[in-house]
Amino acid sequence: MGDEQEIMVRLHQIHKTFGSNEVLNGIDLEVKKGEVLAIIGPSGSGKSTTLRCMNRLEEVDSGSIEIEGEFLAEENGEGVTEYADSKTSRRLLAHMGMVFQQFNLFPHMTVMQNLLEAPIHVKKQSADEVLPLAEELLRKVGLYDKRDSYPSRLSGGQQQRVAIARALAMDPDIMLFDEPTSALDPELTGEVLKTMRELAEDHMTMVVVTHEMAFAREVAHHVIFMADGGIIEEGAPDKLFSDPEEERTKAFLQNML
């Protein structure tokens, strides 16, 4: 402790517009190794877009993105942002796993096939090599007995836990969560949050876009409040939730709690 912690993701002055709509107006943030960063804010505030810029599901208009010390996108001398070549980009993005609001499991594959797909076909690992890890991950998320089921047979909460296991099967250093419980019935959010909490306890670096204030407060090390495409306020969860500085933050939290 006390040492300079390794920076896993750094965004610098990220700007992004959709058409004439400026959705991100200069985002700066850092994610440290082993840290859980929660991004909260009203819908349309740009929090999901910020997350999606980290793994290039959206491309930024300007600014720079560093993944574990290497540039994914970098501003050149003239202030124009250029992305790394596709090989570098692919290598950097392989450090990150992502969990989506809508799970996005592959419906034509069983739970186990969902987990094995990328390790075998992207990382070119052998089935013998991956299978023990995949089985361990399924046990960890409590779905080993569902290994041969198709996703359509699972509840939303189970599907999301499989999606987490699928991302983990690629052995990422950073996990991105895009409103992972927003599509779930209230009684199913608990099991997903529990899995995420366990992941945090294993010191996984996590960036979580969420509406679950209790989760953000309890599990996150750092919380960012966004509105209108900008970061309004950030800090330790205890401070931000109990004693926010900004009026917007206060108003938002009052509405949520």
Partner 1 sequence: MNGITDTVLLMLEGTETTLEIFVITLVAALPLGLLASLGRISKLKPLSRLIEFYIWLMRGTPLMLQLLFVYFALPMAGIMLPDIGAALLAFILNYAAYFAEIFRAGIQGVSRGQYEAARTLGMTYGQTMRRIVIPQMIRHVLPPVSNETINLVKDTSLVYILAMNDLLRVARTIVQREFDMTPFVIAAIFYLAMTFVLTWGFKKLEAYYGKYDM
Contacts with partner 1 by CB under 8 A lie at 55, 57, 90, 93-94, 96-98, 100, 102, 104-109, 117-118, 121-123, 150-153, 166-167, 170
Q: Which residue number, 7 or 109, has a Cβ lying nearer to partner 1?
A: 109
In whole angstroms, the minimum distance from the beta carbon of 106 to partner 1 comes to 6
In whole angstroms, the minimum distance from the beta carbon of 56 to partner 1 comes to 8
Q: Which residue number, 80 or 122, has a Cβ lying nearer to partner 1?
A: 122
In whole angstroms, the minimum distance from the beta carbon of 104 to partner 1 comes to 4
In whole angstroms, the minimum distance from the beta carbon of 91 to partner 1 comes to 9
Cβ(90)–Cβ(110) below 8 Å: no
Q: Which residue number, 153 or 203, has a Cβ lying nearer to partner 1?
A: 153
Q: Which residue number, 153 or 239, has a Cβ lying nearer to partner 1?
A: 153
Which of these, 12, 20, 22, 29, lies nearest to 45 by C-alpha position?
22
Which of these, 197, 120, 127, 185, lies nearest to 158 by C-alpha position?
185
Q: Which residue number, 57 or 256, has a Cβ lying nearer to partner 1?
A: 57
In whole angstroms, the minimum distance from the beta carbon of 90 to partner 1 comes to 6
